[in-house]
Amino acid sequence: MESIYWSITWACHRKCVHCYEDRFRPYVRNALGDVVGQTLQNWPRVLANLPDRMTYLDLEQPVAGGGWQERRGRIILSGGEVLIDPIREPALYPLLEALRERYAGRGGVNVVVQTTGDLLTEEIIRDLVARGVWMISVAGMDDFHVGMEGAKRDPLQQRLIGWFEAAGLQRSGLQHQTRRWHEEDGPLFSFFGATPDAWIGRLWPRGRAWKNGLSTATMADNFCNRWSGGLNFLNHRYSGSEVAIDAAGDVFPCCMKTKLPIGNLTEEPLEGMLDSLVGHPVYEAINAGHPERMGLAYGWDLDTYLAKAQTVQPKGGAYRNLCIGCDRFHEEVLGPVIARIRSERLARRHPLAAE
């Protein structure tokens, strides 16, 4: 597979107004212990069900005589915030070591650690590099992060650049949404944020961004039909495929996350999960980047879908986006369908248990 976006923990030291997931927030006392415990329990089980190889065939690079160039894929480890004290050493560092061991001799894997950046220290940077991290990606460089507005973020960014360069990292020359990471050798560092021209652009209709009325996306903003959307997620052997995994082990076709997951990696392997959806009209529509066609086999014609894609924002005001139609289809139709496919999948893996 080309890319996996894995949010290993719900815990974060921030509660940003634009975050796409309400569960990414600070936790205290017993609640923090529960969240950390979930991370520690789940990451080894999820890791065991990742693909045996994190490589993919690059359809833009044909090989003479037939076939395609095999390239190394990537796994992005994110949160929440993976560098907070209860997560960094107990969970992140062992996971980094386990990923390096798992894919050694199997084509390797490029591991990206994504962080808001304000918790980085020189020592942490050295620790990450020592554990084979290919890129440290600083994602908090935007006006939505308190203390990072405008020029306020410049001192932190300059300090981080000095630390990165001292540790032997080079700045990535690619834009964040450019997928040609095979052109660069690590270790690298990068900066990005929730700006109109990068990352989530007009903000997904999700989480606190939705509750706070921050999404200005329209019907013209098809988040599905782009990288980190559902586009090509089923084509896991080839370039262009990415899935998202959350801290519970749930798997989604897109980073913004469909209303329901397609399965859970604490229970079953990722590749089998994806292969079970190949040819299914709902997921082929998502795979093609056309969510408006996901319900055609279930009585939802285009007019129906577009009508369902209209809503009112929590703070008032009409809103229309294809993600809203996708949410309604999951709520009204797809839940039992997903449950049946999952049950059939698990029965094939454990036939005696199904009898």
Residues 321, 238: Cα–Cα separation, whole Å: 29
Calculate the average pLDDT of the chain: 92
Q: Give the mean pLDDT of 3-13.
A: 97
Residue 158 domain flag: yes
Buried b vs exposed e over 185-217: b needs ≥16 C-beta within 10 Å? ebbbbbbbbbeeeebbbbbbbbbbbbebebbeb
Of 203, 238, 270, which one is at a domain's C-terminal end? 270
pLDDT tens sequence across 195-247? 655 556 688 999 999 999 999 999 999 999 998 899 999 999 999 999 999 99
Q: What's the pLDDT score for residue 353?
A: 46
User: Are 46 and 124 found together in one domain?
Assistant: yes
Read off the pTM: 0.94
Domain check: are 61 and 163 in the same one? yes
What pLDDT score was predicted for residue 229? Answer: 94
Asked if residue 11 is part of any domain, the answer here is yes
Tell me, yes or no, whether 109 lies in a domain: yes
Contact 46, 267 (CB under 8 A): no
Is the CB of residue 244 less than 8 Å from the CB of residue 23? Answer: no
Q: Quick check: bond before 291 cis, omega within 30?
A: no
AA letter at 282: V
Of 56, 77, 35, nearest in space to 245 by CA: 77
What is the number of structural domains in the chain? 2
Residue 194 has pLDDT above 80, yes or no: no
Which structural domain, as residue segments, surrounds residue 56?
Answer: 3-270
**Is 70 exceeded by the pLDDT of residue 139?**
yes
pLDDT of residue 72: 96
Q: Is the confidence at residue 186, as pLDDT, over 50?
A: yes
Read off the CATH number of the domain in which 7 is found: 3.20.20
CB of 144 closer than 8 Å to CB of 18: yes
pLDDT of residue 87: 98
- pLDDT, position 355: 45
**Statement to judge: residues 77 and 175 lie in one domain:** yes
Last residue of a domain, one of 270, 296, 319: 270
Supply the DSSP symbol for 11.
Answer: B
Position 28 scores a pLDDT of 95
Q: Is 192 or 100 the better-scoring residue by pLDDT?
A: 100
Residues in the chain: 355
Do 214 and 73 have their domain in common? yes
Is 90 exceeded by the pLDDT of residue 2? yes
Select from 143, 190, 116 the least CA-distant residue to 18. 143
In a domain, 106, yes or no: yes
Q: Does residue 331 share a domain with residue 208?
A: no
The verdict on 227 and 295 lying in the same domain is no
Beta carbons of 234 and 316 less than 8 angstroms apart:
no
| 289 and 253 both lie in a single domain | no
Q: What angle do CA 153, 120, 8 make, to 5 degrees?
A: 110
> Is 257:206 a contact under the CB 8 Å cutoff?
yes
If asked whether residues 220 and 336 sit together in one domain, one would say no
State the DSSP H helix or E strand holding residue 197, giving kind and residue range, or none if neither: none
Domain-terminating residue out of 241, 270, 299? 270
Q: Do 239 and 296 belong together in one domain?
A: no
Kindly report the backbone phi and psi dihedral angles of residue 25, in degrees, each rounded to the nearest multiple of 5, phi listed first.
Answer: -165, 170
Under 8 Å between Cβ of 44 and 98: yes
The DSSP output letter for 63 is: P
CA–CA distance, 110 with 336 (Å, rounded to integer): 37
